[in-house]
């Protein structure tokens, strides 16, 4: 069985690639920006931070305490963490999987990649979806030619409709990136992260 992607860890790496932060800030940012694919908060967040620190993808840089509040450890991403973030994110963007939540997560974090890398990953995804659709259409035709009633192929028809819709959306996103219509400066950056945290 394939290992499920660590979406919480990916999100932590993406946020720490913008600026160092402590778990409470990261938790607030996830909630305030509706990263709803991150489940099991706050426990999943603390487990992800522990795991990433153990893999030396993030490191603690400061511990502080204000008044009676518990100590807060600030983490920052390492160079290896940046490389791992880019690799994981490109992989999730490039490969259409069975779980759409994973692609939602990848798209929500796409702004941490340079435009050329994001574009290349999306082009690879579009090509993979087109290949899958060709195979699925061939399979549906063979079943139909074999006399299988339409009602027994309805789930395959549904899967085809979802894939066609995703392909159209990905191609539209590619066009927006290629034309420069999509403003990359509005993605997660230090100013945006600090503004969201200040408003909470």
pLDDT value for 67? 67
Are 78 and 57 contacting, i.e. CB atoms less than 8 angstroms apart? yes
Per-residue pLDDT, 200: 46
Orientation angle between helical segments 7-16 and 79-94, nearest 10 degrees: 130
* Per-residue model confidence (pLDDT) at position 153: 85
The pLDDT assigned to 33 comes to: 84
pTM of the model: 0.83
Residue numbers in the chain where pLDDT is lower than 70: 1-3, 67, 98, 185-200
CA distance 79 to 61: 14
Q: What integer pLDDT is reported at residue 52 of this predicted model?
A: 96
The upper half-sphere exposure of residue 22, i.e. CA atoms within 13 Å in the direction of its Cβ, equals 11
pLDDT of residue 4: 72
Determine if the peptide bond prior to 87 is cis (ω within 30°). no
pLDDT of residue 1: 36
Question: Residue 41's pLDDT is what?
Answer: 85
């Amino acid at each position: 069985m394939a290992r499920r992607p660590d979406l919480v860890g990916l999100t932590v790496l993406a946020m720490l690639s913008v600026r160092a932060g402590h778990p409470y800030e990261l938790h607030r940012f996830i909630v305030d920006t509706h990263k709803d694919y991150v489940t099991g908060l706050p426990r999943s967040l603390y487990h992800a931070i522990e795991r990433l620190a153990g893999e030396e993808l993030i490191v603690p840089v400061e511990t502080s305490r204000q008044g009676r509040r518990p100590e807060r450890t600030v983490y920052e991403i390492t160079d290896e963490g940046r490389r791992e973030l880019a690799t994981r994110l490109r992989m999730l963007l490039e490969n259409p999987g069975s779980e759409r939540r994973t692609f939602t997560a990848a798209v929500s974090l796409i702004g941490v990649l340079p435009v050329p890398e994001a574009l290349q990953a999306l082009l690879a995804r579009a090509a993979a979806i087109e290949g899958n659709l060709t195979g699925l259409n061939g399979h549906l035709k063979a079943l139909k030619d074999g006399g299988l009633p339409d009602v027994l192929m309805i789930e395959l028809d549904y899967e085809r409709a979802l894939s066609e819709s995703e392909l159209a959306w990905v191609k539209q996103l590619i066009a927006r990136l290629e034309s420069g219509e999509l403003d990359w400066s509005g993605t997660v950056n230090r100013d945006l992260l600090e503004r969201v945290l200040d408003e909470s």
